[in-house]
Amino acid sequence: MNPTKNPVIIHTLSVGIRKHRHMNQQDTSLIKFQAYSRELTNLKSIESLLSWDQETTMPSGGASTRAGQRETLASLYHERLISSRYRDLVELVANRIDDPWVQADVQETRRLQNKAIKIPPSLIRELAKTTSLAFNAWVEARLSSDFSIFYPWLTQIVHLKRQEAKCLQVGKTLYDALLDEYEAGSTESKLNRVFSRLRPKLTDLLEKLQSSRKQPSDNFLKGNYSIEKQKQFGKKILTAMGFDWNCGRLDHSPHPFCSGLSPRDVRITTRYEKENFGVAIFGMIHEGGHALYEQGLDNNRFGLPANTSISLGIHESQSRLWENVIGRSTHFWKYWYPLLQKTFSKHLDSVSFVHFLRWINRVKAGLIRVEADEVSYGLHVILRFELERELLSEKIEANEENTQGKEKKKKKKKRKKKFFFF
């Protein structure tokens, strides 16, 4: 019997051919979608690299050029993200492939596209350029303790962020629109409910602790600590934490941060003070926590939309866990304090372990969030939430925030004047 005339065989072959064609279509659309997604991620990584360079090594004279570069990249990324080609690929993949990871990529891409398409390209360019130029103004203002240098840039940024929030607004408030970028699905009202319960309790606890007579001295650990020795000691801690130096590096910047260009390229920074080694050491532990999260992402899925940190809150939970729960614990320093004493024997030989442990866990309100203790840190966050909410809703303007800051400084006459904005 001729097999080509057998209806069963013909039907089986035709079904197989259709399945093969369908699978090829699936494979082709998925390959194109993933390739396009990775190109977009590369653009974001390049922008992050430019930002890292600006905060670590770029000469100040390059500020205007860098602003133009970042403006161009932001515009290009925005244009490609909302392109009809990419949106068509997303829908093809969404309808043909039911793999849960692929569907997660589709969901995240749609979320980004639905937001980006609401923002005009001109606003994208202006935000990128202005925030880039503002950084150098902030550095200059910080060095000279002169808020007036940064103030014009702050007012511009607030104006632009209000425009962005109005473009994106879907919930009840402008704050909701911008909050979604960092904590998807969260709202101003949810945060307000949490903070309204925490604030009075944290305030009472802070006042109680600061009024206690059992206060560790601020002066007994102050000295001239070699910056190079601080750096080398911090690198030992980072190594013990599991930081992969083949896929990361440590640099100095005015404000500590972690930049995850990919799981294979994660860069952290800290800042140093000769008279207080704690600023750099705890800064390194904190940023090391961020870095471990970034290095722990799946490198095989790098570039795909869902292969990113889930939220800023989760990210910060990792850094705060390392800095405070582990990094200020008795067991942690039972191992590291003898090594720290050896590193700075001139200053620490006469300082007991008990006194050292009390000093690194002291509670004292201050103006700098990244140097805040575990109690007042939460109040820094709540205060910023309240100020940002009022700024976005136009209930206050940036100059009023400056006035509030000046009034607080007047009450702290004994404190050395220091400009702050982080």
Q: Residue 395: what are its φ and ψ, rounded to 5°? A: -80, -25
Residue 31: pLDDT over 90? yes
Tokens of 78: 């925005």
Q: Residue 8: what are its φ and ψ, rounded to 5°? A: -65, -45
Give the separation between CA 422 and CA 411, rounded to whole angstroms.
Answer: 20
- Comparison of pLDDT for 218 and 11, the residue scoring more: 218
- In this structure, which amino acid lies at residue 165? A
Q: What is the model's pLDDT at position 399?
A: 75
Query: What is the domain partition of the chain in residue ranges?
Result: 3-144, 159-206+375-422, 216-361
Residue 8: pLDDT over 60? no
Residue 21: pLDDT over 60? no
- Comparison of pLDDT for 12 and 219, the residue scoring more: 219
- In this structure, which amino acid lies at residue 253? S
- Sorted by sequence, the CB contacts under 8 Å of residue 228 that are 6+ apart come out as none
Query: Look-up: residue for tokens 């976005």?
Result: 392
Beta strands in 334-395 (DSSP E): none
Q: Residue 36: what are its φ and ψ, rounded to 5°? A: -65, -40
Give the separation between CA 372 and CA 96, rounded to whole angstroms.
Answer: 51
- Comparison of pLDDT for 169 and 237, the residue scoring more: 237
Tokens of 164: 């962005």
For the beta sheet containing 265-270, the strands, ordered from the edge strand earlier in sequence to the opposite edge, are 248-252, 265-270, 258-262
Please report which confidence band the pLDDT of residue 15 belongs to, taking 50, 70 and 90 as the band edges: low
pTM reported for the whole predicted model: 0.88
Residue 4: pLDDT over 80? no
- Summarised one tens digit per residue, pLDDT across range 80-112 is 999 999 999 999 999 988 899 999 999 999 999
Tokens of 208: 């109680």
Q: Which residues of 259-286 are buried (b: 16+ CB within 10 A; e: fewer)?
A: bbbbbebbbbbbebeeebbebbbbbbbb
Residue 288: pLDDT over 50? yes
Residue 42: pLDDT over 70? yes
Counting residues of the chain whose pLDDT is more than 90, the rounded percentage is 80
- Summarised one tens digit per residue, pLDDT across range 314-330 is 999 999 999 999 999 99
Q: What is the model's pLDDT at position 97?
A: 87
Q: What is the model's pLDDT at position 264?
A: 97
Q: Residue 312: what are its φ and ψ, rounded to 5°? A: -65, -35
- The gap from C-alpha 211 to its chain's centroid, in whole angstroms, comes to 34
Helices 7-56 and 63-81 meet at what angle, rounded to 10? Answer: 160
Decide: 225 and 347 in contact? Cβ < 8 Å. Answer: yes
Catalytic positions are 287
Q: What is the model's pLDDT at position 213?
A: 86
Residue 55: pLDDT over 70? yes
In whole angstroms, how large is the CA radius of gyration of the chain? 26
Q: Is 92 helix (H, G, I), strand (E, B) or coil?
A: helix
Residue 411: pLDDT over 50? no
Q: What is the model's pLDDT at position 214?
A: 85
38-45: long-range pairs with CB below 8 Å, 24+ = 38/302, 38/303, 38/304, 39/80, 40/77, 40/80, 40/81, 40/86, 41/302, 41/303, 41/304, 42/303, 43/73, 43/76, 43/77, 43/80, 44/77, 45/261, 45/262
Give the separation between CA 289 and CA 123, rounded to whole angstroms.
Answer: 34
Give the separation between CA 115 and CA 181, rounded to whole angstroms.
Answer: 9
Residue 251: pLDDT over 90? yes
Exposed/middle/buried for 123, CB within 10 Å: 0-12, 13-18, 19+? middle
Query: Look-up: residue for tokens 């699936």?
Result: 26
Residue 422: pLDDT over 50? no
Q: What is the mean pLDDT of the chain?
A: 90
Q: How many other CB atoms are found less than 10 A from the CB of residue 29?
A: 20
Give the separation between CA 248 and CA 161, rounded to whole angstroms.
Answer: 32
Mean pLDDT, residues 123-150 taken together: 96
Exposed/middle/buried for 234, CB within 10 Å: 0-12, 13-18, 19+? buried
Decide: 78 and 116 in contact? Cβ < 8 Å. Answer: yes
